[in-house]
Amino acid sequence: MFDSRHIHTFREVLKAGSYSGAARVLGYTQPAITQQMKALERDVGTALFTRVGRQMRLTEAGEALARHADVILDTIATAQQQMDAITRLRAGRVRVCAFPSASATLIPEVMASLAVGHPGVRVELLEGEPPESLGRLARGECDITLAFTYPGLHEEVPDEVVEVRLFEDQLTILLPTGHPLARRRAVKLVDLAEERWIAGCLRCRANFLHECAEQGFAPDIAFTSDDNLVVQSLVAAGVGVAMMPSLVLSFLCHQKVAGRALDPASRRQVSAYVLREHLRVPATALVLDELRAAAERRVGC
């Protein structure tokens, strides 16, 4: 392995034609230049220069190194520039895996803020529901995962993963606008025990079944869909009622659907997950800060 400082000095010796000339250009003493060249020759394992009278000439090894010196130093300079751009947040890529309603709310706010303050930092968006999305983080397929969990559901998080809590998202009951209970500000789950239901993703469905069991009834689930628009459209058509997080209603609300608070209130926890070692990556830390700021603007969902 070569010391890049020695390669730089070697190139200046070639340009100046002597150790003393290189010393004047670099601001070193001639003995310092001599010591660097001896160190480089030790690294190479052979002599780089030979003297013919008062002139210095390159050996075969010196000629070979001379042909590569510019490339070596230019490559190092390019790498340093790229590393500097990344550490100073002029460049960088962060892969974020998020569930659909986070992709439609938090992510656009983060990307808009980055476009103004750090246009060189790019977010690559992947979509996935937990717990699969957490698996993608563990496999290195993304840098940050946005996921949610419900009370009573313990999330198995490996030691190398850090949870960054963002906000609590209140659950809402969706009713057709003509439903008798739509006149209320809040609805008890047990009051809808005889209704037909439209359920959501597997994790949301599991929580819904748990909450119904706590109220002493088993719901009649007529349809299941991961698509929030499909769920709302089915409710609007009078096919059934549904339980949906408020985050969804902040960007998608069918005009024939009424959202009513659940009584007593129930919430899910929305968090960002990141590998502990990635907290030191400037672009990843920046995106986490932007996610926190976006979440703070959504307190009370």
Nearest Cα residue to 259 out of 275, 243, 278, 240? 243
The residues pairing with 257 across neighbouring beta strands, listed in sequence order, are 176
The Cα angle at residue 138 between residues 136 and 140, in degrees rounded to 5: 70
Could you give the CA distance from residue 134 to residue 158 in angstroms, rounded to a whole number? 10
Quote the CA–CA distance of 67 and 35 in Å, as a whole number. 22
Q: Give the pLDDT score at 216.
A: 94
Beta carbons within 8 Å of 260's beta carbon, 6+ residues apart: 172, 173, 175, 181, 182, 184, 185, 186, 187
Average pLDDT over residues 215-244: 94
What gap in Å lies between CA 259 and CA 261, rounded to an integer? 7
> Which pLDDT band holds residue 300 (cuts at 50, 70, 90)?
very low
Question: Looking at 115-119, 183-187, 189-193, which range is the least confident one?
Answer: 115-119
Mean pLDDT of 162-182: 95
Output the average pLDDT for the chain. 89
Average pLDDT over residues 141-145: 93
- pLDDT band of residue 185 (cuts 50, 70, 90) is very high
CA–CA distances in Å: residue 169 to residues 151, 204, 243: 12, 12, 12
Instruction: Identify the top-confidence range among 155-164, 255-264, 277-286.
Output: 255-264
Which tokens is 133 given? Answer: 């999305």
pLDDT exceeds cutoff 80 at 89: no
Residue 135 or residue 51, greater confidence: 135
Which residues, at least 6 apart from 68, have a Cβ–Cβ distance to it below 8 Å? none
Structure confidence at residue 4 (pLDDT): 85
pTM of the predicted model as reported, rounded to 2 decimal places: 0.71
Distances (CA, A) of 129 to 200, 214, 251, 287: 11, 25, 18, 20
